[in-house]
């Protein structure tokens, strides 16, 4: 009895973590499991195991159109927000200038603004300007909320750099441009890659801001939300599961590459 | 600040210009425009959706009084979800930072992993798991933990649980980051000075992890207060939050001024709360 209770005490934190992880992953496991369900259109109750949904991911009407839009928007929003955000991060992280704290505030504000306010305010601007909501307004909206996250991520990486590396490059007669291209940029690159990945996943998963600014265009989260009332087709689960597997592989691959580099 | 890289006096401004111009146009201008919309009134004899500026500040008071219940609910639900997420995330982050050893990176990926399936799919998965056809309700009924008439979905409990779940990684990651940064020697020193485990935690670990706790609570509370998806999927008409009202004012009622006034009140309330909170918690790390 005593040994059991002592074992329990020693492993309390581990048991707790195990429960927390179960809680975190239950809906993910559920989503993946039901992608193999032969449940028909609504996919509410478990019927029988099938690969059909995976072999025919575009089988439900509109689901692949929605996915295509989400990928296009995610790609463009990632591209623009990563470029703009990285430039701002370099300005803040590497330079002293007048208006630095104002800029910091300007980066912080979009993160402190609830999504619904961001979405509603942009829509009201587009309506005032007589711009119809749709593809490009959605891209613009996504860039707005992604920029701040890119800045924060890249800035953290810049702050963690050892300035002596750049000084060494300069000592070895590299000019400023060479130093930046050959030393600074490669060192900051992992931060930029992480920021881009974050921006893409934020954009891909966004529903609230998209719902305000996309008009009649459908995206994957919008598709899921709209079909929730009738029951979601299993194809949506297939896409959700595939995204999960792809993203997880990218992260794991990144970790392995990072570790190999560290060993070298 | 070390002077390295390309640095002429104009460089920072050139780097800032495109991004800041973008944020001016598509963040500050819309907010100003929203402020302008919030005091408009319907044009006499105009169509639905046509409004003119008449600086009617009363809009704010009307909008607030009409929806004070939903306002109260939004902040209450968000506060409970934040506390619940903190209670779950802190020990989890602590375990990952101090007990995971080589598994650390794997566990961190697992914390973020739910993000990779769409959050809507996960929220709907909860609805189905906790719903009448799911496996939780029959078990709880057989064990007589809930009465046959009780449902788990369409309740305030489900909405708060959904929010707690959805924002949990936002709480866990910053707390992990600040716990992981703690030098283990400070904990040893505390032990050497005859502090027991609890005292060490209270006097050393907890204060050093406060920046993460502050960041995590903000990253959870702010989106939770403006959220309407959890309330729409897991809730009932009795659990409507302010986000649901803003959304329906915009799209179903086409009442832009009220939606704008509500958005502004929500944002102002959140900004005031956040400022007070950051002051109290005493961290400027965030900005």
Encode pLDDT of B256-271 as tens digits: 889 999 999 999 899 8
CB contact under 8 A, B23 and A208: no
Interface A:B, Cβ pairs < 8 A: 258
B153 inside domain: yes
Flag whether pLDDT at B287 surpasses 80: no
Where is average pLDDT lowest: A75-84, B177-186, B276-285?
B276-285
Backbone φ, ψ for residue B51 (5° rounding) = -130, 155
Cβ atoms of residues A139 and B26 within 8 Å = no
Nearest to B117 among A90, A184, A240 (CB): A240
pLDDT band at B85 (very low <50, low <70, confident <90, very high): very high
Residue B123: both structure tokens together: 């929220």
Flag whether pLDDT at A131 surpasses 80: yes
Q: Which ranges of chain A would DSSP assign to H, the alpha helix?
A: 2-33, 52-55, 63-94, 100-112, 115-128, 135-159, 163-171, 176-179, 185-205, 208-213, 220-227, 234-263
Give me Rg for the CA atoms of chain B. 24
A172-178 average pLDDT score: 85
Please give the Cα distance from B39 to B60 (Å, whole number).
Answer: 8
B107-136 average pLDDT score: 85
The total number of structural domains that make up chain B: 1
Give A88's contacts in chain B (Cβ within 8 Å). 15-16, 19-20
Residue A175: both structure tokens together: 């000019």
Answer whether A207 touches B (CB < 8 Å). Answer: yes
Please give the Cα distance from B186 to B192 (Å, whole number).
Answer: 10
Residue B102: both structure tokens together: 């080589």
Nearest to B122 among A14, A28, A211 (CB): A28
A191–chain B nearest CA distance, Å = 16
Flag whether pLDDT at B53 surpasses 70: yes
Higher pLDDT pick, B164 / B199: B164
Answer whether A176 touches B (CB < 8 Å). Answer: yes
Give B4's contacts in chain A (Cβ within 8 Å). 94, 163, 166-167, 170, 179, 184
Cα B99 to Cα A12, A20, A199, B107, B212: the distances in Å are 11, 15, 31, 11, 18
CB contact under 8 A, B23 and A166: no
Q: What is the mean pLDDT of chain B?
A: 85
Geometric angle at alpha carbon B214, from B118 and B190, rounded to 5°:
120
- pLDDT at site B40: 86
Residue A73: both structure tokens together: 């928007």
Q: What is the mean pLDDT of chain A?
A: 87
A84-101 average pLDDT score: 88
- pLDDT at site A264: 59
What length is written for chain B?
Answer: 287
DSSP track, A17-36: HHHHHHHHHHHHHHHHHGGG
pLDDT band at B189 (very low <50, low <70, confident <90, very high): confident
Higher pLDDT pick, A139 / B4: A139
B34 inside domain: no
Answer whether A249 touches B (CB < 8 Å). Answer: no
- pLDDT at site B4: 47
DSSP code of B284? -
Pick among A12, A74, A114 to test the B interface (most B CBs inside 10 A): A114
Q: Which of A249-263, B42-56, B198-212 has the largest mean confidence?
A: B198-212
Give A168's contacts in chain B (Cβ within 8 Å). none
Encode pLDDT of A15-58 as tens digits: 888 899 999 999 999 999 888 988 777 777 777 788 888 888 88
Nearest to A91 among B15, B99, B264 (CB): B15
Flag whether pLDDT at A7 surpasses 80: no
Where is average pLDDT lowest: A86-90, A130-134, A254-258, B18-22?
A254-258
A72–chain B nearest CA distance, Å = 16
B80 inside domain: yes
Higher pLDDT pick, B142 / A2: B142
CA quadruple B25, A205, A236, A253: dihedral positive or negative? positive
Q: Which of A15-19, A256-260, B86-90 has the largest mean confidence?
A: B86-90
A70-75 average pLDDT score: 95
- pLDDT at site A200: 92
Conformation bin of residue B155: beta by default, left when phi > 0, alpha when psi is -120 to 50: beta
A162-180 average pLDDT score: 85
- pLDDT at site A263: 64
3-state helix, strand, coil in chain B (%, to 5): 75, 0, 25
Please give the Cα distance from B181 to B184 (Å, whole number).
Answer: 9
Please give the Cα distance from B217 to B46 (Å, whole number).
Answer: 45
Q: Residue A208's closest CA among B20, B152, B125, B263?
A: B263
Flag whether pLDDT at B286 surpasses 50: no
Q: A64 Cβ partners below 8 Å, 6+ apart?
A: A57, A58
Cβ atoms within 10 Å, residue A110: 21
Pick among B27, B205, B278 to test the A interface (most A CBs inside 10 A): B27
- pLDDT at site B152: 78
Give A121's contacts in chain B (Cβ within 8 Å). 30-31, 33-34, 260, 263
- pLDDT at site A194: 87
Residue A257: both structure tokens together: 């590459």
Q: What percent of chain B has pLDDT over 90?
A: 30
Give A180's contacts in chain B (Cβ within 8 Å). 5-6
- pLDDT at site B7: 55
Q: Which of A194-203, B56-65, B75-84, B173-182 has the largest mean confidence?
A: B75-84
Residue keyed to tokens 């709209």: A226
Flag whether pLDDT at B238 surpasses 50: yes
Would you give the distance in Å from CA B84 to the centre of its chain?
13
A151-171 average pLDDT score: 87
What length is written for chain A?
Answer: 264
Range of the domain at B245: 52-281
Would you give the distance in Å from CA B247 to the centre of its chain?
18
CATH number of the domain residue B225 falls in: 1.10.3720.10
- pLDDT at site B230: 92
- pLDDT at site B1: 42
B17 inside domain: no
Q: Which residue of A has its CA nearest to B243?
A: A116
Conformation bin of residue B260: beta by default, left when phi > 0, alpha when psi is -120 to 50: alpha
Give A240's contacts in chain B (Cβ within 8 Å). 117-118, 121
Higher pLDDT pick, B116 / A264: B116
pLDDT band at A1 (very low <50, low <70, confident <90, very high): low
A85-109 average pLDDT score: 88
Residue B65: both structure tokens together: 């009084």
Residue B264: both structure tokens together: 């502004």
Flag whether pLDDT at B274 surpasses 50: yes
Backbone φ, ψ for residue B40 (5° rounding) = -80, 165
Q: A258 Cβ partners below 8 Å, 6+ apart?
A: A190
Flag whether pLDDT at A128 surpasses 60: yes
pLDDT band at B5 (very low <50, low <70, confident <90, very high): very low
ipTM of this predicted complex? 0.84
Please give the Cα distance from A34 to A234 (Å, whole number).
Answer: 7
- Chain A, window 132-171: residues with a beta carbon less than 8 angstroms from a chain B beta carbon: 140-141, 143-144, 147, 151, 163, 166-167, 170
Flag whether pLDDT at B205 surpasses 90: no
Give A109's contacts in chain B (Cβ within 8 Å). 27
Please give the Cα distance from A78 to A199 (Å, whole number).
Answer: 5
pLDDT band at A145 (very low <50, low <70, confident <90, very high): very high
Q: B210 Cβ partners below 8 Å, 6+ apart?
A: B178, B281, B283
Domain boundaries, chain A: 2-51, 61-232
Q: Residue A96's closest CA among B156, B13, B47?
A: B13
DSSP code of B25? I
Backbone φ, ψ for residue B176 (5° rounding) = -55, -45
CATH architecture of the domain formed by A61-232 = Orthogonal Bundle (1.10)
Please give the Cα distance from B158 to B166 (Å, whole number).
Answer: 12
B260 inside domain: yes
DSSP code of B56? -
DSSP track, A191-239: HHHHHHHHHHHHHHH--HHHHHH-TT---HHHHHHHHTTT---HHHHHH
CB contact under 8 A, A17 and B122: no
| Three-state DSSP class for residue B53 | strand
pTM: 0.86
């Amino acid at each position: 009895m005593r040994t059991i209770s002592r074992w329990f005490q020693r492993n309390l934190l581990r048991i707790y973590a195990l429960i927390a992880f179960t809680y975190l992953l239950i809906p993910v496991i559920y989503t993946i499991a039901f992608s193999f369900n032969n449940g028909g259109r609504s996919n509410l109750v478990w019927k029988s195991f099938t690969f059909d949904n995976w072999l025919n991911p575009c089988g439900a009407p509109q689901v692949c159109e929605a996915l295509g839009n989400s990928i296009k928007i995610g790609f463009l929003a990632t591209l623009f927000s990563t470029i703009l955000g990285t430039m701002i991060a370099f300005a803040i992280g590497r330079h002293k200038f007048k208006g630095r704290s104002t800029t910091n505030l300007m980066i912080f504000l979009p993160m402190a603004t609830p999504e619904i306010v961001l979405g509603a305010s942009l829509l009201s601007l587009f309506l005032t300007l007589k711009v119809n909501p749709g593809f490009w307004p959605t891209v613009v909206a996504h860039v707005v909320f992604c920029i701040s996250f890119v800045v924060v991520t890249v800035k953290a990486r810049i702050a963690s750099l050892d300035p002596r590396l750049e000084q060494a490059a300069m000592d070895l007669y590299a000019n400023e441009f060479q130093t930046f291209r050959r030393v600074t940029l490669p060192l900051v690159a992992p931060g930029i890659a992480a920021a881009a990945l974050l921006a893409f996943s934020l954009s891909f998963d966004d529903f609230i801001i998209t719902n305000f600014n996309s008009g009649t265009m459908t995206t994957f989260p919008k598709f899921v939300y709209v079909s929730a009332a009738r029951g979601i087709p299993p194809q949506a689960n297939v896409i959700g599961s595939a995204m999960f597997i792809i993203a997880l592989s990218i992260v794991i691959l990144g970790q392995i590459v990072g570790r190999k580099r560290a060993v070298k | 600040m070390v002077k390295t890289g390309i640095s002429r006096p104009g460089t920072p401004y050139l780097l800032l210009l495109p991004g800041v111009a973008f944020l001016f146009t598509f963040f500050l201008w819309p907010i100003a425009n929203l402020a302008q919309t919030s005091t408009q009134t319907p044009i006499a004899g105009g169509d639905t959706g046509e409004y003119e500026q008449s600086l009617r500040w009363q809009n704010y008071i009307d909008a607030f009084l009409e929806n004070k219940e939903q306002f109260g609910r939004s902040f209450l639900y968000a506060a409970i979800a934040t506390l619940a997420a903190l209670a779950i995330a802190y020990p989890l982050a602590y375990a990952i930072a101090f007990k995971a050893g080589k598994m650390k990176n794997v566990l961190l990926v697992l914390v973020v992993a739910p993000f990779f399936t769409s959050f809507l799919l996960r929220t709907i998965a909860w609805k189905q798991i906790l719903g009448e056809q799911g496996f939780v309700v029959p078990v709880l009924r057989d064990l007589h933990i809930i009465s046959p008439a009780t449902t788990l979905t369409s309740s305030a409990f489900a909405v708060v649980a959904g929010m707690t779940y959805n924002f949990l990684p936002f709480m866990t990651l910053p707390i992990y980051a600040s716990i992981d940064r703690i030098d283990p020697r400070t904990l040893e020193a505390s032990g050497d000075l005859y502090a027991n485990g609890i005292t060490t935690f209270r006097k050393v670990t907890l204060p050093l992890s406060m920046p993460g706790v502050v960041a995590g609570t903000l990253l959870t509370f702010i989106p939770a207060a403006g959220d309407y998806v959890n309330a729409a999927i897991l809730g009932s008409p009795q659990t409507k939050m302010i986000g649901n009202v803003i959304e329906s004012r915009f799209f179903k009622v086409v009442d832009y001024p009220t939606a704008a006034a509500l958005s502004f009140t929500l944002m102002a309330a959140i900004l005031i709360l956040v400022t007070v909170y950051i002051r109290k918690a005493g961290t400027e790390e965030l900005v």
